[in-house]
Amino acid sequence: MFHIFSYLAQVSTVIWFKFNSVLNLDTMDSTGEQKIDVSQQIYKTRIDSTGSPISATRRDDGNPSKGQVVTKDPDYCGSCYGAESETRKCCNTCKEIQLAYQERHWVVKNLSVFEQCREEQWDDTLANLGSEGCRIQGSLQVNKVAGSFHITPGNSYASDQVHVHNLQGFDGQKLNMSHKIDKLAFGNMYPGQTNPLDGTTMNVVEPAQMVTYYMKLVPTMYVSYNTTTRSLSTVHTNQYSVTWHSKGSPLTSDSSGIPGLFFNYELSPLLVKISYEHKSFLHFLTNTCAIIGGVFTVASLLDAFIYQSTCVVRKRLSTKHSS
């Protein structure tokens, strides 16, 4: 069985969107597993230009945040505009319409044609990027294989095992990928551990940039002695090194990428073991005695050598005087 490890991501972004629901967090790995718009254990907070929270942190469970709630009749069943299916009869929010279209593999070209999107002011949201940002924090469970996760605008979905992003309605010139990473760790932290991306701030001047981080993970086992329980405790975690690259990704048909933050990681086949052992007083006493004994032994050998040398010299001098 593969050991499942988690990474903790606390990212304070200054990618300015009016609502955090237009930012998606997706994961994928070398086994082909994909997780679209991850919501479990992921929290998003609206922030202003100074980084201060605008509304309370909430779990991103797909429901509108405060300020986006549109009161509807309990029996209301919104139209999916032709995208209805056996499992989806109603579309009561703009998000549900987009999901219905994704399930049909249809492209949403203009959100303003949908009543639900007009009520939630999605069109105004996309037209007025620049006043707010989003802080994303939480944790993910991923397989112990090479993979990636990314934070991008728009909606994402899988089409015939292909990961697709729909950025219809976005103006690439208003997509600022500047960001700050408060903490990014792969596994639990051990005492004294440092992560190279913690506290990283990147100010991206050009709009619509695709910023990619390449990380090499080294599985690490930290073993320490717990003086309270008088037993060994072990922490299984990962250290990593990182390089990064940025390129322009305008929202055009010939673009080779999309704007966003991409984190690619792969695991090293090596395991690093860090251990700290508590030495008892008896062990210290034994080592001290061994050192003292060694000093006496060397001193004895040196004394014997000097004595024998002196005797030889005296004997030769005595022989010369006799002759």
DSSP 180-248: EEEEEEEE---TT---TTTTEEE---SSSEEEEEEEEEEEEEEEEEETTTTEEEEEEEEEEEEEEEEEE
Q: Which helix (H) or strand (E) holds 34?
A: strand 34-35
Report the range of poorest mean pLDDT among 30-34, 208-212, 226-230: 226-230
Report domain extents, the chain.
Answer: 5-68+120-216+239-271, 281-323
Average pLDDT, the chain: 77
Task: Give the residue, 271 or 56, on which the prediction is more confident.
Answer: 271
Predicted local confidence at residue 188, as pLDDT: 85
Predicted local confidence at residue 244, as pLDDT: 95
The encoded tokens of residue 38 equal 């991850």
pLDDT surpasses 80 at 307 = yes
The separation between CA 162 and the C-alpha centre of its own chain, rounded to angstroms, equals 23
Of the pLDDT bands very low, low, confident and very high (cuts 50, 70, 90), residue 76 is confident
Of the pLDDT bands very low, low, confident and very high (cuts 50, 70, 90), residue 6 is very low
